[in-house]
Structure 1
Amino acid sequence: MPHILIVEDETIIRSALRRLLERNQYQVSEAGSVQEAQERFSIPGFDLVVSDLRLPGAPGTELIKLAQGKPVLIMTSYASLRSAVDSMKMGAVDYIAKPFDHDEMLQAVSRILRERQEVRQAPSTPASTTGRGSEKTVDNSNGEIGIIGSCPAMQELYSKIRKVAPTDSNVLIQGESGTGKELVARALHNLSRRAKAPLISVNCAAIPESLIESELFGHEKGAFTGASAGRAGLVEAADGGTLFLDEIGELPLEAQARLLRVLQEGEIRRVGSVQSQKVDVRLIAATHRDLKSLAKVGQFREDLYYRLHVIALKLPALRERGSDVSEIARAFLLRQCTRMGRDGLHFAADAEQAIRHYAWPGNVRELENAIERAVILCENTAISAELLGIDIELDDLDDDDFPGLAAQASSTSLEPTEDLSLEDYFQHFVLEHQDHMTETELARKLGISRKCLWERRQRLGIPRRKTGATAD
């Protein structure tokens, strides 16, 4: 069982993260500072260190040296995201931005431990040096592409990826949420001449609008209140490599104008600066929205749309991929069984049928989560459709009314408990405050965008109450 050290000074976050990892078959120890971790533990003895960047006393990056080669995953808020990129240059294996949810953290931990295991099993294979998010997916049928599936639509996609990757052309990846758009971006980067340079991934929907320009393009000292020092942006961090902008449809118009300058002139200008500087960045963007329609109504710059739309790659929804769903499910089952030390698990007949016929509105991400949950809960060797949760998730909810769930949500206890997970905390916070706070205020308090708040309401089944307080 992998042993993970959490170093986080906020007790609630540390406790919730410990319970999350323990529930997923990890052994966990914790500390509130670098000094406490040194005093209590032999840090190189852990399989992974998960640390906040900003800690009392020494910063979390000090653990990179103390871990003596063991992987260190840095947690940070988007307000200090640039510092997280710097920490990767110091040797951190990856960073994860707060606020994160269960899936994001578990996927990062699983990937890091899996990669380390692969390196131990094949010591002659060079370690990846391609920066954040550049890992290859195992158990796939497409080698260097790193994506599972062989239906005609995916074969056509693989062919386009191989043609486009060696070029420096901008790419727009389109597809529903959960279809694997970031996997396509990673494949394009890994197969390009930029593969040894950083791949910087940015979720435009998750960065507060007030911060996004300075985070992407950097700022000068005194450019705005709180700018006590100049700072480079994420576009500069991607210099020589690839910048992946996920959910680019959420990028504010002002930031779109700055991004257009990067694409047209190959240069950036930090917020508050009169000087421009050259950058060599390949842009890959992704969205689940129709940018052309947004451009027609003035919500997205038309000139930027055409700059992005040099090469368009369309990812099919999982329900459109035929037998791929069974192939992907078996690969996920093998991966989870290996990670959790479960042997001999298989899908029962009703589960096989349910997997093939369920619409999977959350696409590949939903399938992976369902299988992970089933492996954890399975008490024998056969995973049933009921364990996958398909019987109770047949409706594809596409609005925020969530019929049938309101009674369940309204009866939820609002009293916090010591066993609250990160998502429990989110749900309790929203239910407790949504009657007297607007959606904008809720999102600001949680440190996320309104779109992110809406998406989590959908995923967790939290209805938005139709009251005057929330009608903003």
Structure 2
Amino acid sequence: MGLGKILVVEDEPVIRSSLRRLLTRNDYVVTEAESVGDACQNDLASFDLIISDLRLPGEPGTALIEKSEHTPVLIMTSYASLRSAVDSMKMGAVDYIAKPFDHDDMLKAVADTISRKDEVLAEPVPSADTSTTSKDGNPAGIIGRCAPMMTLFSRINRVAPTEATVLVLGESGTGKELVAKALHEASRRDTKPLVSVNCAAIPETLIESELFGHEKGAFTGATTTRNGLVEAADGGTLFLDEIGELPLEAQARLLRVLQEGEIRRVGSVESRKVNVRLIAATHRNLKLMASEGTFREDLYYRLNVVELNLPPLRERGQDITLLAEALLEKTTKKMGTSLMLISPEALVAISRHPWPGNVRELENAIERAVILSEDDMITPDLLGLESSSLPAASVQAPQAATELLDENDSELSMEDYFLRFVLEHQNQMNETQLARKLGISRKCLWERRKRLGIPRKEAG
């Protein structure tokens, strides 16, 4: 049967027959097609690999990526620009190869791809309750239900099993390291180390030594030979956070890692082979930096094979309250305090705040509130969100409250909502039921009644 079944899709007969001869001589079973439409006449799932030209009559070769589902697609392009290769990888190609191709390079790419496919098929499908997913089925326990996050989860699941380099973009505090963790845990490297490096936290004079290691005597203070963090990640995943802060000299060394799979320690003349999957992250505009000469353009295109965007917290809608409740549960467990609730007013304050520090800022605010709280309720004043103060209630008496009942619901402040809810339900509920529905204590309910002039009606 041969080493595997391969579908070759190429509209140039000479190239197609040449590739068929090369593969059949090396014990592969080859089927030929000259367009995407012609290729789809076959059962694409029956092949171990599809090798397709990028430029084809009708649909481009990348159209086969979606149509083939689980069969990997290797893209050939005579337009051997890094840009077209990057675009192909972004769409899900397992690899690309430039035409005219070297026979040994083609055979190596084919063998590697087919062996990786066999490994993936041999692995058990992870269940929904594994450590890489949350109770909602999200990777690495990342919380989110909004459309941008669901798109992100889908892309993580698609790219994680591949060897593609990933660039994670997002503002500070959005959780880029969690995305790197999710990619690593769902990859074939999950049993090997994930080494995380914050490039902004290492002094510029030391970063090359920290990343790539150094030989004894390479510089003043180098009293012993030392392995770098890239070597520490050998076989696993290297996560470089804030990669935009990497000096140009270190960028050149990193490019060598990506292009040649090797490093050279500071002060050494010998290169060492390393096998790492790189995930990089930044809040900066690397494309602009590349145009300005502060970031290597060739490194930018090597990094930007697959781009994942993390939305800022202010654009995640109801995810904000989901995150607040999850972070509250996490914080109370960590501090060993009793179960706490977030008051309706605090939830509104949280949803209105712009969160320039994103999830990290929200976590800090929740932790602060838990520490300062004297009971089981998180109120807005405990959060310390100066820019999210609620409109002051101008209501003085029940008569004013009655007038508010005719206003548009979407314009109600939390004080207005409180008035409306109490007036509508106090005849059907006792104080305990009212407080529970409002998410506040009986004492808090009594204090608000007193302040707003709506005392509890006497029975009978």
Match of 1:362 in 2: 357
Matched, 1:189 2:184: yes
Measured against aligned partners, the alpha-carbon deviations of 1:4-53 in whole angstroms (never above 9, x if no partner) come to xxxxxxxxxxxxxxxxxxxxxxxxxxxxxxxxxxxxxxxxxxxxxxxxxx
CA drift of 1:319 comes to 0.3
Among 290, 295, 306, the alignment partner of 1:295 is: 290
Q: How many residues align?
A: 260
Instruction: Write the distance in 2 (CA, Å) between the matches of 1:166 and 1:151.
Output: 24
CA drift of 1:145 comes to 3.3
CA-based RMSD of the aligned residues comes to: 1.7
Matched, 1:160 2:155: yes
Instruction: Write the distance in 2 (CA, Å) between the matches of 1:136 and 1:369.
Output: 25
Which amino acid is the alignment partner of residue 389 of structure 1? G
Among 375, 384, 387, the alignment partner of 2:382 is: 387
Matched, 1:256 2:251: yes
Among 335, 343, 359, the alignment partner of 1:348 is: 343
Contact 1:177 1:363 in 2 (8 A): yes
Match of 1:236 in 2: 231
Contact 1:260 1:304 in 2 (8 A): yes
Contact 1:174 1:288 in 2 (8 A): yes
CA drift of 1:226 comes to 1.4
Among 309, 313, 319, the alignment partner of 2:314 is: 319
Match of 1:310 in 2: 305
Among 138, 143, 159, the alignment partner of 1:148 is: 143
Match of 1:59 in 2: none
Secondary structure at 1:210's aligned position in 2? coil
Among 271, 278, 286, the alignment partner of 2:273 is: 278
Measured against aligned partners, the alpha-carbon deviations of 1:373-394 in whole angstroms (never above 9, x if no partner) come to 1011100121111101113678
Match of 1:24 in 2: none
Secondary structure at 1:195's aligned position in 2? coil
TM-score (norm: length of structure 2): 0.55
CA drift of 1:344 comes to 3.6
Identity between Structure 1 and Structure 2 (%): 65
CA drift of 1:213 comes to 0.5
Secondary structure at 2:168's aligned position in 1? strand
> Residues 151 and 179 (structure 1 numbering): CA distance in 2 closer, same or farther, change over 3 Å?
same
Which amino acid is the alignment partner of residue 165 of structure 2? N
Unaligned runs of 5+ in 1: 1-134, 395-472
Instruction: Write the distance in 1 (CA, Å) between the matches of 2:260 and 2:132.
Output: 35
Measured against aligned partners, the alpha-carbon deviations of 1:446-470 in whole angstroms (never above 9, x if no partner) come to xxxxxxxxxxxxxxxxxxxxxxxxx
**Runs of 4+, deviation exceeding 4 Å:** 135-140
Measured against aligned partners, the alpha-carbon deviations of 1:84-117 in whole angstroms (never above 9, x if no partner) come to xxxxxxxxxxxxxxxxxxxxxxxxxxxxxxxxxx
Contact 1:140 1:149 in 2 (8 A): no
Secondary structure at 1:373's aligned position in 2? helix
Contact 1:332 1:368 in 2 (8 A): yes
Which amino acid is the alignment partner of residue 384 of structure 1? T
CA drift of 1:143 comes to 4.4
Alignment of 1:365-444 (within 5 A): 365-391=360-386
Contact 1:219 1:271 in 2 (8 A): yes
Secondary structure at 2:200's aligned position in 1? coil
Instruction: Write the distance in 2 (CA, Å) between the matches of 1:291 and 1:300.
Output: 7
Unaligned runs of 5+ in 2: 1-129, 390-460
Contact 1:253 1:299 in 2 (8 A): yes
> Residues 393 and 200 (structure 1 numbering): CA distance in 2 closer, same or farther, change over 3 Å?
farther
Structure with greater Cα Rg: 2
Instruction: Write the distance in 2 (CA, Å) between the matches of 1:341 and 1:276.
Output: 51
CA drift of 1:138 comes to 8.7
Instruction: Write the distance in 1 (CA, Å) between the matches of 2:373 and 2:133.
Output: 24
Among 213, 226, 244, the alignment partner of 2:208 is: 213
Instruction: Write the distance in 2 (CA, Å) between the matches of 1:340 and 1:228.
Output: 43
> Residues 269 and 292 (structure 1 numbering): CA distance in 2 closer, same or farther, change over 3 Å?
same
CA drift of 1:230 comes to 1.1
Bigger RCO of structures 1 and 2 (CA < 8 A, at least 6 apart): 1
Contact 1:142 1:148 in 2 (8 A): no
CA drift of 1:198 comes to 0.5
Matched, 1:225 2:217: no
Instruction: Write the distance in 2 (CA, Å) between the matches of 1:170 and 1:342.
Output: 42
Instruction: Write the distance in 2 (CA, Å) between the matches of 1:312 and 1:336.
Output: 32
Measured against aligned partners, the alpha-carbon deviations of 1:284-314 in whole angstroms (never above 9, x if no partner) come to 0000000000000000000000000000000
